[in-house]
A and B are shown apart, each in its own frame.
Chain A
């Protein structure tokens, strides 16, 4: 086994809308909390996830607390940016390059429908770059092919918002009913407003440390694996203008999950608690199948909490989504769950956690944590 990568500390700046608070402010908050938990260790490298933060976002955070000099690398991988940063850090520790690495993510998302430099201007002009419309097509396909309904989409929102009530770092902390979800305005059929997460602002940080052997009580980062898409799928997160029959084309989330399960030496049945990408309610149901948590069409069983608990943090539907920070926010939640310090939202005797993010690129990342 040899080198073990452990989580020495975690920190988070609440996800929400924070007028007058900068990316740097939020990053400093999360990083200081994570370093304090870890006993303020020296770290030899830092990786910072951000998609909209701009040049040298990571340097600005660490510069503000006088902790520079080591390599600081900003990482952009869409919604999986924080997961990509985590994979780089864990790989460097396993390779023997560093003993301790700081990983963090910061983001202040523009308000409203996300505009992305990903699309050529003519695609925006033609109306072929509307992000929620792509989500809607994917949702419609999921309902058709997996025998699910709009009621199931509403049930995802109800579940995650119920979980979010107990998360002080979430943006929305009020329960909703399925009737209310279905009565919220239609954004793009079949998706209603409350079925979509809100892009917002936040930061999260994780201190990784090298350990030898299996001893010790710290949470282990058993795998952090990033994958991109295989070509051909018209409704994948790569959002091409055309595609072919994708029956045999594994989506990036499945590729990342397979890699992560293999590296961690576990299967989906070993997982107790999951934080998965719920950009919209259908995305979460699709993730169940992509991650191997159930067979396509069997999502209602998982939605009912059997045998895994999904998105105990409230998910992005409760927390909102700051791209660079969201994957690490999941890791913060899972570390607290595995430590047994998640308070009112604690999943009983959780030992194995799986975090999943997927988005623009396409990029997908799966992280396995164990204790």
Chain B
């Protein structure tokens, strides 16, 4: 089994799915990712650990064509921002689609696990 690229970012589910772990502060009324001990928008201390939803819409995208420093995956790869529909939270993410011309603003996106060089991270497709 592949190990997560970093602890605490997500949970791998028995059904092969993946769930991002975020935070929610009732005082702030806002979600964040990754989970922080204190709300990053307001400093409120009442952060609850929450599972973020897996569905969103595409908000920004591009493709990375040359490997950036320290990167352990293959190029080209898709890179962008997906807005989670339920939380209205914008998540920086890898995208399964690496051709920007095949993507459009607002299209539905779904969270999936993504393997690179022996580790697992998250992506949207």
Return the chain A residue nearest B93 by Cβ: A128
Residues in B neighbouring A245, C-beta threshold 8 A: 88
Contact B41 A232 (CB under 8 A): yes
Say yes or no: B100 contacts A189, CB within 8 Å: yes
A95 at the B interface (CB under 8 A): no
Q: Using CB atoms, name the residue of chain A closest to B81.
A: A234
* Across-interface contacts of A92 in B (CB, < 8 A): none
Q: Do A137 and B81 touch across chains, with their CB atoms under 8 A apart?
A: yes
- Residues of A close to B88: CB separation below 8 A: 244-245
Q: A137-B61, A140-B61, A244-B89 are in contact. Are A124 and B121 (CB under 8 A)?
A: no
Minimal beta-carbon separation of A310 from chain B (angstroms): 26
A271 contacts the other chain (Cβ, under 8 Å)? no
Complex interface: chain A residues within 8 A of B72 (CB) = 125
Asked if A187 and B65 sit within 8 Å, CB to CB, the answer is yes
Give chain A nearest CB distance to B122 CB in angstroms. Answer: 9
Residue contact B77 to A122, C-beta cutoff 8 Å = no
Asked if B41 and A231 sit within 8 Å, CB to CB, the answer is yes
- Interfacial chain B residues near A54, Cβ < 8 Å: none
Would you give the shortest CB distance from A95 to chain B, in whole angstroms? Answer: 30
- Give Cα distance in the complex from A136 to B6, angstroms: 26
Q: A128, B33: Cβ atoms under 8 Å?
A: no
Among the listed stretches A65-73, A235-243, A345-353, which one makes contact with chain B, having 4 or more residues with CB under 8 Å of it? A235-243
Verify A125–B119 contact, CB threshold 8 A.
yes
B89→A129 contact, CB < 8 A: no
Closest to A140 in B: B60
For residue A144, which residues in chain B have a CB less than 8 angstroms away from its CB? 105
Name, among A113, A120, A130, A234, the residue most crowded by chain B CB atoms within 10 Å (CB to CB).
A130
If A127-B64, A127-B77, A188-B63 touch, whether A242 touches B69 (CB-CB below 8 Å) is no
Q: Tell me whether B62 and A126 are in contact (CB under 8 A).
A: no
**B70 adjacent to A115 (CB under 8 Å):** yes
B40: CB under 8 A from chain A? yes
Q: A128-B94, A137-B81, A231-B40 are in contact. Are A188 and B5 (CB under 8 A)?
A: no
Least CB distance, B50 to chain A, in whole angstroms: 13
B112 within 8 A of partner (CB): no
Whether B90 and A127, one on each chain, are in contact in the complex, defined by CB atoms closer than 8 angstroms, is: no
B34 within 8 A of A: yes
Considering the chains assembled together, what is the distance between the CA atoms of A115 and B69 in angstroms?
Answer: 6
Q: A119 — nearest CB in chain B belongs to which residue?
A: B70
Query: In the assembled complex, how far is the CB of residue A215 from the closest CB belonging to chain B, in whole angstroms?
Result: 48
B79: Cβ under 8 A from any A Cβ: yes
Which chain A residues lie closer than 8 Å to B5 at the CB level? 122, 125-126
B12: interface (CB < 8 Å): no
Given A121-B70, A125-B5, A127-B68, residue A242 in contact with residue B92 (CB < 8 A):
yes
Closest A residue to B71 using CB positions: A127
Are A242 and B63 in touch, CB under 8 angstroms?
A: no
Q: Is A141 an interface residue (CB 8 A)?
A: yes
Contact of B64 with A130 in the complex, beta carbons under 8 Å: yes
A125 CA to B115 CA in the complex, in Å? 12
* A129–B32 CB distance below 8 A: no
| A85 vs B115: C-alpha distance when bound (angstroms) | 44
Residue on A nearest B4 in the bound complex, by CB: A122
Give the Cβ gap from A209 to chain B, nearest Cβ, in Å: 41
- Inter-chain contacts of B22 with A (CB < 8 A): 242
Q: Name the residue on A nearest B90 (C-beta).
A: A234
Q: A190 to chain B: which residues have CB within 8 Å? A: 62
List, sorted by A's number, 13 A–B pairs whose CB atoms are closer than 8 Å.
Answer: A112-B69, A120-B6, A126-B71, A127-B64, A127-B71, A186-B65, A188-B64, A189-B100, A234-B92, A242-B32, A242-B33, A242-B91, A245-B88
For the complex of A and B, list the 7 residue pairs with the smallest distance between their C-beta atoms, beginning with the closest: A124-B70, A130-B68, A122-B6, A136-B62, A242-B33, A115-B69, A137-B60
